[in-house]
Amino acid sequence: MEPLSKLLHQSQKRLLQMHFESGVGHIGCNLSCLDLLMVLHHRIMKENDQFILSKGHSAGALYITLWSLGKLKEEDLKSFHGEHTKLSGHPAPNGLKEIIFATGSLGHGFSLANGLALSKKLKKEPGRVFCLTSDGEWQEGSNWEALIFSKHQQLESLTLIVDANGLQGFGNTKEVAGMNELRKKFESFGVSVEEIDGHDLNAIEKALSANQKGPRAIIACTTKGKGVSFMENKMEWHYLSLNGDQYRQAVEDLEKS
Amino acid sequence: MRNIFCETLIKHANDPSFVFMTGDLGYMALEPLRKAAGTRFINAGISEQNMISVSAGLASQGFLPWAYSIAPFIYARPLEQIRNDVCFHDLPVKLVGNGGGYAYGVMGSSHHAIDDYGILLTLPNMRVFIPAFDSDIPPMVERLIHLKHPAYLRLGRDEKSADFDPPPYSPWRKILNGEGPALIAVGPLAGSMLNSMKALNSNQRPSLWALTELPVTFETIPAELKADIKSSNHLIVAEEHVAHGGAGEMLARILLLNGEAPKKFTHYCAQGYVSGYYGSQSFHRTESGLTAETILKDLKK
């Protein structure tokens, strides 16, 4: 996957630059899901497919992915998190065709994706619906309502991707409210589950292209702060913004990888 | 009202954009609609949050979804879904709450909806419809179908006497002439007010108006109602809703803003649970002073 690796590398650096210049945090959880978003958008999604970012705090990774597709311009990224911007810290209703729903409060996206998939089913329209949630987000009860619904309604076009980086806002997910084996829980709802390395581009592509009927879930095991030595698996990078030295170090780390 | 609502929707069930979701309620009422709508009648289960977001997803793809439950369950639990997923995106999801106000009576406070439209009207793009009479339902459903915005329909019980034939549907209707104060009754209360007020002498009798759509704007208040308020210098608002966020507050505000505030304003509204005891809808209305008898007594003072 040579060409995508190169583009991914550029995108990681552009993500860091955007967060550094805007002084915005949430970098760790953007880096954990960027590989997933890039493979999904560049290799998997076709014209009739739809995507919902349920973990709205990874808006930066989504904006960068859309930039890498040519859907957002440099000047758009420069406005990120500023005044008079369309690119707020969590996606807001902003008229972008690719951002069907604003998110930011956890536990909404998967239900919204259920609605899109139900629409396809009722209209007998082609296409797939993808939704990316975090792992901590599965502490929200509404997600389980959506999981029951997706299976009961046999929403075959629906694929759930969980960015399982193991860390959440105020601790380690296992320590905060452990969901001991999300996989088994999903399976007990009748949903087929695949667990993958969320940074192995080939594994992501293979899992997402699988010709299996949904609803299905892909639990992508990821690393918060992936690629930046001092951020990896550090909870504080859910919030912190980069200072100049840290930014230079982070870029150096990415260049070495 | 629920049966007429069901009958009316059946007439629209063949429209390809029609989809009806229920949060597992509607037993002994919605079965004919289920039959008529087929796969586009979906029992979403006891999961209001998911039901609202799914409805938003459907609406974003061109459907006109109706999301149904009993009134207390359709707006409070899934409020964030209504705000973020429906209202922020200005999607035409139609929320339907059966049994607004104290309608579920002695079922208890969990089953009452006395703060429903006040809460919902704080949200962007939201409109509220509170039919007063059974015959309001077909024209209201027609309006709701053509309304490309979020809306809440609060169903109650037609309280008018059988011999009264309401004027054609309009958000504002004068249903009784009188030389007394201007009395605005929200939704079905208009019927019971009419029953008690019509026998009064014309000098005492209020001019009674049924209000069935919110929010109201100053511009849409009929000139005749403005004249009624002006001539009596007394406005009375009666609604089965708490004071905060209700139609009374809304009307007082816009009349003040426009320099047309009457000298006297009386607000009859839901007072919550005054004694801490529970009973029928009528029991709670009486405890709240929300009855025609209370208003008549006050008028005679």
Res. B294 pLDDT band, cuts 50 70 90: very high
Alpha helices in A124-242 (DSSP H): 141-152, 173-177, 182-188, 201-209
CB A187 within 8 A of CB A216: no
Q: What is the pLDDT of residue B199?
A: 87
Q: Which among B42, B60, B80 is the nearest to A100, CB-wise?
A: B60
Residue B132 has pLDDT above 70, yes or no: yes
Q: What's the confidence (pLDDT) of residue A56?
A: 96
- Dihedral sign for Cα atoms in the order B249, B251, B252, B254: positive
From B111's Cα to the closest Cα of chain A, the distance in A is 21
Contact (CB<8Å) B89/A114: no
The span from the CA of B61 to the CA of A221, in Å, is 32
Residue A178 has pLDDT above 70, yes or no: yes
Average pLDDT over all residues of chain B: 97
Asked if A145 lies within 8 A of B81 by C-beta distance, the reply is no
**What integer pLDDT is reported at residue A177 of this predicted model?**
84
pLDDT of residue A2: 67
Q: β-strand B94-98 against B64-70: which pairing, if any? A: parallel
Burial of B62 (0-12, 13-18, 19+ CB in 10 A): exposed
Number of H helices, E strands in chain A: 10, 7
**What is the spatial distance between Cα A27 and Cα A40, in angstroms, rounded to a whole number?**
20
Task: Give the pLDDT band (50/70/90) at residue A1.
Answer: low
Q: Six-digit token pair at A49?
A: 């497919």
Return residues 275-294 of B near A (CB < 8 Å). Answer: none
Domain ranges of chain A: 2-256
pLDDT greater than 80 at residue B247: yes
Half-sphere exposure of B41 (CA within 13 A, CB side): 18
Nearest to A146 by CA among B57, B50, B74: B50
Local structure of residue A164 (DSSP, 8 states): E
* Residues of chain A contacting B124 with CB distance shorter than 8 Å: none
Residues B89, A119: C-beta atoms closer than 8 Å: no
Other Cβ atoms closer than 10 A to A170: 11
Query: B112-151 burial, b for 16+ CB within 10 Å, e for fewer?
Result: bbbbbbbbbbebeebbbbbbbbbbbbbebbebbbeeebbb
Tens-digit pLDDT profile for residues A112-168 = 999 999 999 999 999 999 999 999 999 999 999 999 999 999 999 999 999 999 988
CATH 3.40.50.970 fits A2-256, yes or no: yes
Largest CA distance in chain A: 54
Question: Would you say domain B2-155 falls under CATH 3.40.50.970?
Answer: yes
Cα–Cα dist B170/A141, whole Å:
42
Check residue B122 and give its pLDDT. 98
Set of chain A residues whose Cβ sits within 8 Å of the Cβ of B87: none
Residue partners of A78: CB distance under 8 A and separation at least 6: A21
Percentage of chain A lying above the pLDDT 70 cut:
99
> How far does B285 lie from chain A, in Å, by closest CA?
35
Instruction: For CA atoms B279, B281, B287, B288, give the dihedral sign.
Output: positive
CA distance B44 to A149: 7
Task: Report how far residue B9's alpha carbon sits from residue B34's, in angstroms, rounded to the nearest whole number.
Answer: 10
Strand order in the sheet with B234-238: B172-176, B207-211, B182-186, B234-238, B264-268
For B190-230, the pLDDT digits (tens) are: 999 999 999 899 888 999 999 999 999 999 999 999 999 99
Tokens of A115: 């609605």
B50 touches chain A (CB under 8 A): yes
CA B95 → CA B34, B146, B148, distances in Å? Answer: 17, 15, 13
Q: Distance (Å) from the C-alpha of residue B56 to the closest C-alpha of chain A?
A: 7
The reply to whether B265 touches chain A by the CB within 8 Å rule is no
Residue B215, preceding peptide bond in cis (omega within 30° of 0)? yes
Return the structure tokens found at A73.
């311009």
Topology of the domain covering B172-300: Rossmann fold (3.40.50)
H-helix or E-strand containing B202? none
**ipTM computed for the complex:** 0.95
Task: Name the pLDDT band for A20 (thresholds 50, 70, 90).
Answer: very high
Whole-number pLDDT of residue A143: 98
d(CA B53, CA B21): 11
Alpha-carbon distance B83 to B100, whole Å?
A: 20
**Which of B54, B80, B89 lies closest to A149 in CB terms?**
B54
Q: Any CB–CB contact under 8 A between A122 and chain B? A: yes
Q: What is the rounded CA–CA span in Å between residue B228 and residue A220?
A: 67
- Give me the residue spans of the domains in chain B: 2-155, 172-300
Residue A184 banded pLDDT, cuts 50, 70, 90:
very high
SS3 A182: helix
- Token pair in block for residue A120: 């396809």
pLDDT at B81 over 80: yes
Vertex A250 angle, CA A247 and A256, to 5°: 145
Query: pLDDT averaged over chain A?
Result: 94
**Segment 90-129 of chain B within 8 Å of chain A by CB:** none
Answer yes or no: are the C-beta atoms of A162 and A182 closer than 8 Å: yes
Taking an 8 Å cut-off on Cβ atoms, the answer to whether A112 and B88 are in contact is no
3-class DSSP state of B213: strand
| Residue range B140-158: mean pLDDT, rounded | 98
Inform me whether the C-beta atom of residue A153 falls under 8 Å from chain B C-beta atoms: yes
- CA–CA separation, A52 and A62 (whole Å): 10
How many other C-beta atoms can be found within 10 angstroms of the C-beta atom of residue A90? 15
Q: Enumerate residues 6+ apart whose C-beta is below 8 A from B261.
A: B252, B255
pLDDT band at A238 (very low <50, low <70, confident <90, very high): confident
Distance CA A162, CA A184 (A): 14
With a pLDDT cut of 70, the percent of chain B lying above it is 100
Say which residue, B267 or A3, is predicted with more confidence: B267
A101 band by pLDDT with thresholds 50, 70 and 90:
very high
Instruction: Tell me whether residue B276 is exposed, middle or buried, using C-beta atoms within 10 angstroms of its C-beta: 0 to 12, 13 to 18, 19 or more.
Output: exposed
